[in-house]
Structures are given as C-alpha cells and as structure tokens.
Amino acid sequence: MSRQDGPRRPTISDVAAAAGVSVKTVSRVINNVPSVRPELVEQVLAAVGELGFRRNELASTLRSGRRTATIGLIIGDLANPFYSTIAAAVAKVARGHDTHLITVSSEEDPELEQIQFVELCQRRVDGLIIVPAGSDHSYTRPEAEMGMRMVFLDRPPSGILADSVVIDNARGAHTGVEALLKDGHTRIGVIADSPAIYTARERLAGARTALAGAGTPYDGSLVRVGVAHPAEAAKAVATMLDGMNPPTAFFAGNNRITVGALQELYRRGHDAALTGFDDFELSTLMPRPLTVVAYDVEELGRTAAERLFARIGGDASWPSETVIATRLIRRGAELLTH
Amino acid sequence: MSRQDGPRRPTISDVAAAAGVSVKTVSRVINNVPSVRPELVEQVLAAVGELGFRRNELASTLRSGRRTATIGLIIGDLANPFYSTIAAAVAKVARGHDTHLITVSSEEDPELEQIQFVELCQRRVDGLIIVPAGSDHSYTRPEAEMGMRMVFLDRPPSGILADSVVIDNARGAHTGVEALLKDGHTRIGVIADSPAIYTARERLAGARTALAGAGTPYDGSLVRVGVAHPAEAAKAVATMLDGMNPPTAFFAGNNRITVGALQELYRRGHDAALTGFDDFELSTLMPRPLTVVAYDVEELGRTAAERLFARIGGDASWPSETVIATRLIRRGAELLTH
DNA sequence: ACTTCACGAGACATCGTTGTCAAGACTCCC
DNA sequence: GGGAGTCTTGACAACGATGTCTCGTGAAGT
C-alpha cells in the first residue's frame, strides 16, 4: 500500500525500453562510457529525464564491488558541542572524498557502541571513526582483519592495534597547573571526572606531575575525582573553600567542571584563580575572565577523518597515535592572582 | 590491492558450504525462520561465528525490497548548536525506529542542497528531513511523486506541498516586543537578519505588529535588517545609541545578534533593556541577565522526525504545518528597566 | 576483393541475498 | 494401506545494476 502510492521507481531496464536500447547501453550512458553513439546517448538521456530515473546506488555498488562511499562515526552524544564539532569536521572531510557520513550515538554505553559497530559493518561502510565508550575493543578484530578501516578518536583503543587521534591531555593539564604555580599559588584544588575515563585519568596525572614537580606537598583534601556534573563541581569547590586550609586556585578537569566551579565562585564572590581544561563558546563573556587549556576540536575530527581516508586509500603503514597539541589561553589571569 | 589485505568477507554461500547446507537454509537461520531443524540451526550458527559472517544489508534490502532503514537530514551546518541539537533529536527518533541517519550539510547553499537531495535519493533513503537553504523546492516533486517522504524543518517549502515543522516566529517576536512595551519602553531598537530569510522575515513582522499595536510611531532609524554577524549587530547597536533619539531597549532577531548587541552594551556599560530571539547555552551566565524568546529546539527536531516516520509508516493524510510554540523567559528584567 | 581490425552494441552471467515453488520425508487418519 | 496433510529443505529465479564476452558492422590495408 504505502509503496504503491505513486508510480514505481523506474529502473535502468525501463529506461532501456523507453529509449529502445539495451540495458547495457543505458548503463554505459549513465556511467559516461565514451564508446556510445551520440545519437543513442541523447535518446537515453531523454528517457532518463522523462522517467525521472535515478540509479540505485545500492545495486550499483553491490555489483561493481566499489566502495559504498559511506563512513560511520560512533560518538557519545551529538547534542554535546564537543561531539557535534567533531561530527561537523568529519563530515566536511568526508564530503571532500564524495562520501556520506552516518553518525550514530553510543550514548556512552559500551554495549550500544558494539551494536552500532556491527550494524555499520553490515551496511558495509568503508571505514569507521569511533569515540570509544567501552574500554575493550577486541570485538572489532574480526572486522579489522577483514579490512574494515578504523580510527579511534579522543581515546585510544585497547585490545586492538589501530590508529588513534587524541589530545595531549597530560601535558595540557601539566601546563595549566604549572601556570597557576608560577603565579604563586601553592594550594591548588584539582577537580576531575572519574578516573575510569581515559581523558580524566590523563589530565589528573598531568596535574599531579606538575604539583609534584614543584615540590608541592600532596594534600588529599585538595583533590576531588569522580565529578560528573556542574552541580557536583560547585559542591566540591564549596567543600574545599570551607575546609581547614582553603585553596587559592582551582584546576578544573573539563568544561562541565569549570562551569560548576565558576558558578560557585561567582555566587560567593570569591576571587580564587580558576583554570579549566577545554575551552568553550562564550567563555570570553563569562562573569569573570577565565584561563583555559584549549585545543582545536575541529582539528581533532579533521585529523581522524584524514587518517581514515588515508587508510581507505590504501595506506598500510603501522598504526599510529596522533597527538593534538593543547595551548594555554590566559585570560585576565593578572586579575585573579594576588 | 587494498581490498586484498585480509581474507575476503564471507558470503552466505561460504557459510552454507562450511555448514554443509544450502544457502537458503542459511538465509532462513539468519532471518530466524522457525521451520529449521535445531540441529541445522546450530551448524549454521557455528559456521557464521567461525567465519565472522555478517549479512550484507545492501544485498538484503535490494532483493527483499524492504526499506533501507536510513533517512537523510539536509541541514545548514552541523557545527552550529541549533542544527546539531536538531540532528541529535532526529537521530534519537530514528534510532527508535531502527533507522540510521545520514546527515549532510547544505552549507546554506541552495545548489548544494539540491545536489545532496539527489545523492540521498540515489541511496534510496526512506525519507528526508530538509532544513531549506533555497526558496524553491519544486525540484523535489518528481521524487515526491515517486514516494519519497519529506518533511521540511524550520522553514516551509515552496513549490511543493509537503509537511513542515516551524517555530512560531511572528508570535514569539510579538510577545518579546510586547513585553518591552509593557515595561514602559517606547523607543525599541529592532535588529534582524536579512528579510530574505524566512525566520527573520517572520520575526520582523511580529515585532512590527507589536509596535504598531501599541501605537508606537514608526521610526526607520530604530530598525536594522540584514545583520548576519555579531560584529554587525554590535555596530547597529552603537549606531542607534549614538543617534539623535537613542532607544531604551533592543529586540534582537536571533542569538548571533543578541551576542553582538550584548557585547556592545557591555562594552559601554549601557543599561538598555535587551530581549533576544533564541535562547542559548550559558545565557544564565552572561554578564547581565537576559530576557529571551525561547523554544524547544529538540522538540522541533523530534516533531519533524516523528512526522516523517508517520509518513513512512503509511500516513497519507493531507500535508500539515506544525507550529512549535515559543515562550518568553524573563531574566532579571526588573534590573534592566527603569 | 579479401583479410584484419577497431568499435559499437547487446546477450548473458554475476554481485549477495531472499521469494517462490516443488520435492521428499514423515505423520496422521479413515 | 493409501491418500492427504505437514514440515524441512533445496533449486532456481530475481532484485537493479555492471563486468565479460561475443557478434556484426564498416573502415583500413594489401
């Protein structure tokens, strides 16, 4: 019923009949094979136009064994600007290779990630960019061995040898904390997400080596991990400030934490210094200037996509890990330090 | 070469050979047809597992005439949070229908939009959601007549009768301006994008009817259209404030304009009231509270997707225009008025 | 004038899968 | 015990396109 509303979609054989030629000749014309008499070409094109014929790409790629000109992107959540920026960058590179992009959400769920992976393989995508939710990717090995190209983004894979593109998390955090130390802060509150998350772990490690390198004594009350929401970050800031020996500066492990910390400092009118990992839109319009460890999210996506297309194009070199540099953007730091 | 790296991908016939059954039996097993002897099912599944077989969805849908379980989304620019929120909402609904989403960018270019449209039709997507870049969509008619389902989002189509889902732009702007009028403002600067853009046109019209309804005399120096970037918006604000009879309030036609206006007011320390169309993230953290005409972007995407799946599911009712309501969010309005 | 060759066009097989149909085995019932 | 019915299974064709091969035609060469 619902498929019978309008006229059936014409096939190349309908076109052939209308033009009075063989299907193969139609195929030649729509594939721009030069050895067709101009007269026939015209007849065929006329029939194509009249019938509104459009080649069925599925049938075409099936028969010809060509690539599907599709890649997949498995990502946490498209509504998150970080991820959507990546998706936009990947789509742009894909377009440059005349390739479509299927973006699917893993909702940060390892099981869903695996389901999506399989589904995309069944669609015969030419390659996959994966922002890992799970921590074990050995399930991808059979597909990798059968030629599925993969690039891991933002977090390296485990259980499989494959390309990855990640941010220089540890060094970035190190630089951020170091800058606070140079400004004379000795008591720095560090707030990070769960160490189960690769980036959080790396950033925490970077922050710690900076503190250790400066000979700052370790104080457990100044480190809080497992903070997932702004509200929790605000609470962590509150707890530290109300503690015995409050910090004069904070290092926030990601932008959600930065926002939460900022809200709490703003609420109290407290002037502790704050440096956060991740830049974010409108940060220049924040109630107070903000120093951040920034990186080029677009570069992250673009680099991964380019790596993938290099692989698809035949690059068979040893898998590599590309590290995207961070840079410290100091904004109004002088106002925040004593 | 690049296709010969690993073992060739096994087909159902490889599985059949390995399991010692016919291809049809394999087909039955992987499609859960119940009438297969449990013993054979096991043999087949064992072979499937051993060979790492994955059904080729392209071949499957080609033969069976089933839907491709793919829809397309043609949108301006994924990096824009407005669009990426829509994409996320559409993807979520699609997932609920076991459907993948191919998102392509028109880069707001009518010609590219048309190219993308054709490409997606060739992929035999089951339906399309289009955020129009161009103003003439008669080119979609042949496809529509052949059963391509389409829903237009954010802007209605022209040249074709099809479903659309739009924001209540005129009424939203009306309400926003009306609120400023109620607060006692009589000189309100209105800044909008190009009237060539549907939403800008509608919002401008809504703002004007509010002004006219209040009997406010029309003053051309207080209306500026064709503003595309924050910097231009800032300039427009500056020009108006430096004019003969400066406004005491501004109505900004979209969030880019709001940001630009805000920056200029902030720079000058000027306390004119500001109401903007479009809410945006972190608006609560702005240097000053901000009243906005907000709407649920997710609802916009979700509604369009649901409409599309209703059509795909066979709904053959007359095309409809769904209007998404706006609501005025007053933030600190009392601080900004005299 | 006859062979050779290039070239345009079509017949046919094929990509990986599923729909159709029929054959064989088995059960059941009068 | 034999015909009917049920249940499994496989052979074959087909989805819409393209690769391969062959055939007929006409031009070129000697």
Ordered domains of chain B (ranges, CATH): 3-55 (1.10.260.40), 70-167+297-324 (3.40.50.2300), 169-294 (3.40.50.2300)
Q: Which of residues 180-209 of B touch A (CB under 8 A)?
A: none
Q: Which of residues 95-124 of A touch B (CB under 8 A)?
A: 95, 100-105, 118-124
Residue A228 has pLDDT above 70, yes or no: yes
pLDDT at residue B175, as a whole number: 97
Q: What separation, in Å, do the N-terminal and C-terminal C-alpha atoms of chain A show?
A: 75
Report residues 55-94 of B contacting strand D, contact meaning Cβ closer than 7 Å: 59, 62-63, 65
What is the percent of chain A where pLDDT is above 90? 80
- The answer to whether A154 touches A199, Cβ cutoff 8 Å, is yes
pLDDT at residue A283, as a whole number: 59
- Burial pattern B151-187, b for ≥16 Cβ within 10 A else e, equals bbbbbebeebebbbbbbbbbbbbbbbbbbbbebebeb
The 10s digit of each residue's pLDDT in A271-311 is: 899 999 998 766 555 666 788 999 999 999 999 999 999 99
Cβ–Cβ contact B1 with A under 8 A: yes
Q: Which of B266, B227, B221 is nearest to B240 (CA)?
A: B221
Cα A28 to Cα A52, A192, B237: the distances in Å are 18, 61, 60
pLDDT at residue B287, as a whole number: 61
Residues contacting B42, CB < 8 A, separation 6+: none
Q: Which of B294, B296, B291 is nearest to B181 (CA)?
A: B291
- The answer to whether A127 touches A149, Cβ cutoff 8 Å, is yes
How many secondary structure helices (H) and strands (E) does chain B include?
13, 12
- Closest alpha carbon within chain A to B312: A2
The 10s digit of each residue's pLDDT in A66-75 is: 999 999 999 9
Judged by CB atoms closer than 8 Å, whether chains meet at A88 and B77 is answered as: yes
The 10s digit of each residue's pLDDT in A235-258 is: 999 999 999 889 999 999 998 899
Measure the CA–CA gap between B263 and B252, rounded to whole angstroms. Answer: 13
- The answer to whether A148 touches A121, Cβ cutoff 8 Å, is yes
Judged by CB atoms closer than 8 Å, whether chains meet at B102 and A105 is answered as: no
Closest approach of A59 to chain B, Cα-based (Å): 7
Token pair of A324, please?
A: 């995207």
pLDDT class of A337 with cuts at 50, 70, 90 = very low
Is there contact between A12 and strand D, defined as CB under 7 Å from any strand atom? Answer: yes
**Mind giving me the DSSP string for B67-100?**
--SEEEEEES-TTSHHHHHHHHHHHHHHHHTT-E
Is there contact between B64 and strand C, defined as CB under 7 Å from any strand atom? Answer: yes
Sheet with A127-130: strands ordered across: A321-324, A163-167, A149-153, A127-130, A70-75, A100-105, B100-105, B70-75, B127-130, B149-153, B163-167, B321-324
Strands of A146-301 (E only): list them. 149-153, 163-167, 188-191, 223-224, 249-252, 273-277, 291-294
Measure the CA–CA gap between B178 and B331, rounded to whole angstroms. Answer: 16
pLDDT at residue A102, as a whole number: 98
- Name the residue with tokens 């494959």: A162
pLDDT at residue A137, as a whole number: 96
Cβ–Cβ contact B78 with A under 8 A: yes
Measure the CA–CA gap between B63 and B57, rounded to whole angstroms. Answer: 10
Residues contacting B11, CB < 8 A, separation 6+: B53, B56
Token pair of B290, please?
A: 């901000």
pLDDT at residue B282, as a whole number: 61
Token pair of A15, please?
A: 């076109």
Token pair of A82, please?
A: 């970080």
A245: burial class by Cβ within 10 Å (0-12, 13-18, 19+)?
Answer: exposed
Residue A220 has pLDDT above 90, yes or no: no
| CA→C1' distance for B125 and C15 (Å) | 21
Is there contact between B27 and strand C, defined as CB under 7 Å from any strand atom? Answer: yes
- Long-range pairs for B106-112: beta carbons < 8 A, 24 or more residues apart: B106/B74, B106/B75, B106/B76, B106/B131, B106/B133, B107/B76, B107/B77, B107/B133, B108/B76, B108/B77, B108/B133, B109/B133, B110/B134, B110/B135, B110/B136
pLDDT lower than 50: segments of chain B: 1-4, 333-338
| CA→C1' distance for A11 and C10 (Å) | 18
- Burial pattern A306-315, b for ≥16 Cβ within 10 A else e, equals bbbbebbeee
Measure the CA–CA gap between A121 and A106, rounded to whole angstroms. Answer: 15
Average pLDDT over residues A194-202: 94
Token pair of A27, please?
A: 């195929």
Q: Which of B210, B197, B173 is nearest to B293 (CA)?
A: B173
- Name the residue with tokens 């996506």: A301
pLDDT class of A4 with cuts at 50, 70, 90 = very low
Measure the CA–CA gap between B230 and B232, rounded to whole angstroms. Answer: 5
Is there contact between A36 and strand C, defined as CB under 7 Å from any strand atom? Answer: yes
Q: Which nucleotides of chain D does any protein CB come within 7 A of?
A: 7-12, 14-20
* Beta bridge partner(s), residue A249: A188, A273
Strands of chain B (E only): list them. 70-75, 100-105, 127-130, 149-153, 163-167, 188-191, 223-224, 249-252, 273-277, 291-294, 321-324, 327-329
- State the best of A58, A60, A73 to mutate against chain B, taking most chain B CBs within 10 Å: A58
Q: What is the mean pLDDT of chain A?
A: 91
pLDDT at residue B255, as a whole number: 87
pLDDT at residue A81, as a whole number: 86
Cβ–Cβ contact A141 with B under 8 A: no
Tell me the torsion sign for CA atoms A185, A189, A193, A197. positive
- Closest alpha carbon within chain A to B262: A285
Q: What is the DSSP letter of B149?
A: E
pLDDT at residue A334, as a whole number: 43
B216: burial class by Cβ within 10 Å (0-12, 13-18, 19+)?
Answer: middle
- Closest alpha carbon within chain B to A66: B3
Token pair of B150, please?
A: 């389409």
| CA→C1' distance for B24 and C28 (Å) | 29
Q: Which of A20, A25, A19, A31 is nearest to A55 (CA)?
A: A31
Residue A3 has pLDDT above 80, yes or no: no
- Which residue's CA shows the smallest distance to C1' of D13? B63
Measure the CA–CA gap between A326 and B1, rounded to whole angstroms. Answer: 38
Side chain identity, residue A297 = V
pLDDT at residue A255, as a whole number: 87
pLDDT at residue A8, as a whole number: 82
**H/E element, A102:** strand A100-105
pLDDT at residue B3, as a whole number: 38
